[in-house]
Amino acid sequence: MSFTAKIWDTEFPGVIYNSSGPRCTTLEELSSLWDSTSSAIMMKSCSPEPREGNPLPRYSEVELGSINSIGLANHGYKKYIEYAAELKKQFPNKPIVVSIVGFSHEDFIMLVTAFQNEENVDVLEVNLSCPNVVGKPQIAYDFEWSDELIAKLFAIPGDKPIGFKLPPYFDPIHTEMMAEVLRKYPVSFITCINSVGNTLIIDPETEQPLIAPKWWLGGLGWDYVKPIALANVRSFYKLLGDKVTIIWCGGIKSWVDVFEHLLAGASMVQLGTVLGKEGTDCFERIEKEFYTYMDKKWYTDIKQVIWKLQEL
């Protein structure tokens, strides 16, 4: 059976790993990802300076999913350079993916330059879609700003693959506009989708919202967002073909979600909320369930499933 993946020259031993979300901020959490069957170690989105993030409560779960407004709490990029060195020393065989986030073109340029020069990092995911910083819009909803930024990032010397974490798009015109931007550059992957931003969940018992920051608005994940993620994956594959690897993030809780997203065009998947809820055992559980189903269907290669949604 062949269930591996590649982003340019970086080989991933499987197709499932963690998203830049829960349980990937501290060195301890990152080390436990190595101990799991996650196919890579993705680090929490890091900014130029350390950040405390938003006030508590900033994360909550309900039956159909989660709402968060963490606000990019992280230890600052210098710490993640140290963590990457430590992780690579201990666990040389797992790709290390850094997620970077800034508040200006200069921030992003500085961070991409730093990580392009960092031998212990394999892949760069540039987060263009965090919905949780007060007063800062989700970058990838501004196509011109994104285009200018992406041009600058690809002008930086370096041979590490760069991809972008995108917000959900709700209108095909917007998906096309972003695809048009991406086509102009050697983008190696996109991660679809970030949480659905600025949503409100109310507890009818307490008659209060679930989270405090940003006037109680936060990013929605899990069951609520899966159909949105599926549509975005499918639309981007249709527009970009297999030149850009599509990584699905948003709403995975079992093998069936993985299977459906591969059918829609994803080549790899990232686990977020489920990792927060279940801990790192979720990788093995979902992988085993998925491989069992593939076996039942007589599939021996992941390529037999990717983009193979049957027409109606």
Catalytic residue numbers?
Answer: 129-130
Nearest distance in Å: CB 95, ligand DHB: 19
Rounded CA gap, 262 and 259, in Å? 5
Looking at beta carbons only, is 132 or 273 nearer to ligand DHB?
A: 132
Pick out residues in 248-267 that bind ligand DHB (CB under 6 A): none
CB of 38 to ligand DHB, least distance (A): 17
What b/e sequence results for 7-46 when a residue is b if at least 16 CB atoms lie within 10 Å of its CB, and e otherwise? bbebebebbbbbbbbbbbbeeebbebbbebbbbbbbbbbb
Which residues 6+ apart lie within 8 Å of 81 measured at CB? Answer: 114, 115, 118, 120, 121
Residue 230 buriedness (CB in 10 A; 0-12 / 13-18 / 19+): buried
Binding of ligand DHB by 70 (CB under 6 A) = yes
What is the nearest approach in angstroms of ligand DHB to the Cβ of residue 219?
5
Q: Which residue has its beta carbon closest to ligand DHB?
A: 70
Interaction of residue 71 with ligand DHB, rule CB under 6 A: yes
Q: Which is nearer to ligand DHB, 112 or 305 (CB)?
A: 112
C-beta of 32: minimal distance to ligand DHB in Å? Answer: 19
Cα→Cα distances 77→1, 49, 116, 199, 294, Å: 38, 7, 13, 29, 39
Nearer to ligand DHB, 99 or 267 (CB): 99
For position 20 contacting ligand DHB by CB under 6 A, the verdict is yes
The size of the interface with ligand DHB (CB under 6 A), counted in residues, is: 16
Of 136 and 297, nearer to ligand DHB (C-beta) is 136
Binding of residue 45 to ligand DHB (CB under 6 A):
yes
- Residue 195 binds to ligand DHB (criterion: CB under 6 A): yes
CA torsion 13→19→20→23, rounded to 10°? -90
* List of residues contacting ligand DHB (CB under 6 A): 20, 45, 68-73, 127, 130-132, 165, 194-195, 219
